[in-house]
Chain A
Amino acid sequence: MVKSILLVGVGGQGTILASKLLTQGLMEAGFDVKMSEIHGMAQRGGSVSSQVRYGEEVYSPVIEKGGADILVSFEIMEALRWLDYLKPEGKVLVNNYTINPMPVVMGKSAYPNDIIEELKSKVLVTVVDAGEEAIKLGNAKVMNVILLGTIIKLMNIESIDWNKIISENVKPSFVDINLKALEIGKSLV
């Protein structure tokens, strides 16, 4: 049985590191794993996604529409943008954090304030405040690892040695804060 996790956000939010750590852990747990992501022009403040698939044997690295078991969104509107990639019985984890797209910046559109309600009316949604928690920790950038902690809890894969994986894959000076971020993430659900 292959499981598909779609991580989405806005370029610069650290979805790539979170999915890298997640896939590394899944591999060490003995799963076949594939991950796909898009770099390049979209990174410049555009909508980005990392697609993680794991199981006994994985063929395609790409998640198709209606194919994700879990949608993890680092930003509120991105959850709605990618919602049709979720299986109808799938789950959403959304970070209660907004980044204004250019039409909002320009005052041409207003950022809808009822997206989470729209999500909740369709699927099972877990909302966390990873942005606020990251600022409390003193570094807004660790938002991604806080979310990773929450994903791990939701996916029930806590038995993997995540501390080891973080220690081996982030710069030494950032290991401590990321380990703390992971624990906070786990405690949010």
Chain B
Amino acid sequence: MKKLLTGNEALVQGAWEAGVNFASAYPGTPSTEILENMIERKEVKSEWAPNEKVALEAAIGASIVGLRSMASMKHVGLNVAADPLFTYAYTGVNGGLVIISADEPGQHSSQNEQDNRNYAKAAKIPMLEPASSQEAKDMMKAAFTISETFDTPVLVRVTTRICHSKGIVECGERTEIEFSDYKKDVKKYITVPAIAKELRKKVEERMNALGDYSGESPFNLIYNNGKKVGVISSGICYFYAREVFGNEANYLKLGFTNPLPDKMIADFCKDLDTIYVLEENDPYIEERVKMLGYIPHGNDTFPPYGELTPDVIRRSLYKEEMPTIDYDKSKVISRPPTLCAGCPHRGIFYDLGKRKNVLVAGDIGCYTLGFADPYNAMDFNICMGAGFSAGHGAQIGFDIKKENKRVVSVLGDSTFFHTGINSLIEVLYNQSRTVNLILDNRITGMTGHQENPGTGRHADLSEAPFMDIEAIVKALGAKNVRTIDPNDLALVKDTIDWALGLDEPSVIITRWPCALKKLSQQDKEEFKDVFTEKYEVDADLCIGCKICLKAGCPALSYEPISKKTVIDRTQCVGCGVCAQLCKKQKAIVKEVM
């Protein structure tokens, strides 16, 4: 049956058809919908893990005892999961194990643009790179067979345009695979040096066998149009190339890309006058082509960063683009992402933005937007969980330099469970005098509301043990801990003042649900009548001072003709932050229902 599927949906379809038994993931754009869709497949045990490392480790355990297993993550997630990956590449598998890395050329929603094809090469594992939704399904299915045939984990590397593009996919049925027997085998799975040295040799033998297989893989194809110009590419770049070159070039379309098919590449290149390697980011294929003795155009012609969409290829090759309409661009006002109306992070960043002599160490989540106007309340953010630990280091730096600056570190609830908990241990163990804010909005927000260990629900919304952040923090030895409502600006100010007055670590937990969250029964009991009220501006009292606009709320706007603020009642969810800013005029009032 034909279906229109995103790449992410197609990966799930392929794994499901291959009889996958267990899937684990931590959410991250553009990979999130992989596990979200797998949850719907009831034959498969699907779990959100607190981070990518434990997700992969859980999948490895299931693979060792004989299940077909998978772990999916965004590109930076594989950094977190790299440790188990490199060693499981030595032991090999029992049930097939497939890792999906969703890379982000163009950095649509990511802090960097790393090319994770390098991981397959470094870990010495086979890699597949689909170019369409159909291939995402086909390769995912094949990946489990390759994993078991060659006794190795397999990396399926996709990019945003594969994950979030839809195409037509021929869907099949699920084949239930007989579970592989589990037999204790220390010579395979115990990685003490004496054994690991033997495993290391096996890895090389396997890579040699995979090198031969790559040349026979149905995913590596030559399209000979009888031209003297040839294009070598993998993934979505193949289709970008087709868009630009049409039938005016020969193509080597690579889908099985570690190890690369050397003989096939040489055969393709040998009669060509001009060779282009079209690949996003690193010269992964290009370097191999050069090693084989050919001189292709790659990074000398095309940019090594961003997406290699048809317009970029055209610009790089012909110094021109398709004709466009010329118009007055000065009328276009930028529309940066903003904290939503009712976002519980607003009160915190409003407060932090007003403080002097404070460095705010940030982290990855919606709250990173605290850096932007009108708050300007974040100094840096590095990676998941780095807020507290990098903040700790910054405080050490200021103290050693005898600079009178204090560090306030912020991260979210899901980030706390991810790796923030390790960062907090660092802070508490080394007794940093930083203020550590855990912005608990009761859900994983940025990626679109996935459950986490703090929400009391599993991926399939069944009840889970509820992990209480305050109890955890206290159990780690934090003495100065307060949990507050972040919408109460006076309380926020008092609590941060209190924490900055201490000469030892403190933890402030803000607890209020994300304004977009579908509330659980527990939320409804805890946060009575949340998001049911609305505020309005009393035009007689509003003097147009714009102080309320400092909340940076998209529900507020200033009317230049009437010189008053108005509140968009479809957006307002009644957090009341703007009303607290209007304390002199008291012009923002609760609507009488």
Contact = CB atoms under 8 A, between A and B. Distances in A.
A140 B108 contact: no
A177 B322 CA distance: 41
Nearest to A10: B335
B29 A40 contact: yes
Contacts of A109: 333
Contacts of B108: 38, 40-42
A83 B166 contact: no
A152 B332 CA distance: 28
Contact of A123 (B240, B325, B338): B325
A32 B366 CA distance: 37
Q: Counting chain A CB atoms within 10 Å of each CB, which of B337, B366, B558 scores highest?
A: B337
B170 to A, nearest CB: 12
A138 interface: no
B311 interface: yes
A61 B6 CA distance: 11
Contacts of A24: 4
B4 A23 contact: yes
A44 B311 contact: no
Contacts of B331: 77, 80, 112, 114-115, 118
A104 B240 contact: no
A41 B369 CA distance: 9
Given A35-B165, A106-B373, A64 B310 contact: yes
Interface string B1-20: 01010000000000000000
B339 A44 contact: yes
A102 interface: yes
A88 B321 CA distance: 13
A35 B166 contact: yes
Contacts of A44: 337-340, 366, 369, 446
Interface in A53-105: 58-62, 64-67, 77-78, 80-81, 83-88, 100-105
Most buried by B among A33, A39, A83: A39
Given A37-B164, A39-B448, A105-B554, A77 B332 contact: yes
B333 A106 contact: no
A163 interface: no
Contacts of B326: 122
B95 to A, nearest CB: 31
Given A35-B165, A59-B239, A84-B324, A102 B558 contact: no
B324 A102 contact: no
Interface in B300-326: 307, 309-311, 314, 321-326
Nearest to A111: B333
Contact of B323 (A88, A101, A118, A119): A88
Interface residues of B, number: 61
A43 interface: yes
A61 B322 contact: no
A172 B85 CA distance: 44
B164 A38 contact: yes
A88 B340 CA distance: 36
B94 interface: no
Interface residues of A, number: 60
B240 A45 contact: no
B30 A40 contact: yes
B554 A45 contact: yes
A47 interface: yes
A110 interface: yes
Nearest to A46: B337
A115 B328 CA distance: 9
Interface string B364-408: 001001000110000000000000000000000000000000000
Contacts of B448: 39, 43
Given A59-B243, A105-B554, A83 B327 contact: yes
Given A36-B161, A65-B311, A80 B322 contact: no
Interface in B420-450: 446-448
A27 B168 contact: yes
Q: Which residue of A20, A47, A105, A115 has the most chain B CB atoms within 10 A of its CB atom? A: A105
Contact of B166 (A43, A47, A61, A87): A61
Contacts of B338: 44-46, 102
Nearest to A19: B166
A88 B324 contact: yes
A84 B549 contact: no
B259 interface: no
A32 B134 CA distance: 12
Nearest to A84: B324
Contacts of A33: 4, 166-168
B165 A11 contact: no
B334 interface: yes
Q: Which of A11, A61, A77, A122 has the most CB of B within 10 A?
A: A61
Contacts of A80: 327, 329, 331-332
A34 B329 CA distance: 29
Contact of B309 (A42, A62, A66): A62
Given A34-B166, A64-B309, A106 B242 contact: no
B418 to A, nearest CB: 17
Nearest to B4: A27
B30 A23 contact: no
A25 to B, nearest CB: 10
A84 B32 CA distance: 31
> Which of B30, B168, B556 has most chain A Cβ within 10 Å?
B168
A104 B30 contact: no
Contact of B557 (A11, A37, A77, A100): A100
A143 to B, nearest CB: 11
Given A33-B168, A36-B164, A42 B337 contact: yes
Interface string B513-555: 0000000000000000000000000000000001001001110
Given A35-B167, A100-B554, A107-B546, 20 more contacts: A33-B4, A35-B165, A39-B32, A40-B109, A40-B446, A41-B337, A44-B340, A46-B338, A59-B242, A60-B310, A77-B331, A83-B325, A84-B325, A105-B549, A105-B552, A105-B556, A106-B558, A119-B327, A122-B326, A140-B570
5 contacts: A60-B236, A60-B239, A61-B167, A67-B311, A102-B554
Interface of A: 10-11, 20, 23-24, 27, 32-47, 58-62, 64-67, 77-78, 80-81, 83-88, 100-107, 109-112, 114-115, 118-119, 122-123, 140
Cβ-closest 9 pairs across A and B: A40-B109, A66-B322, A40-B29, A64-B311, A61-B165, A107-B558, A44-B337, A46-B337, A101-B335
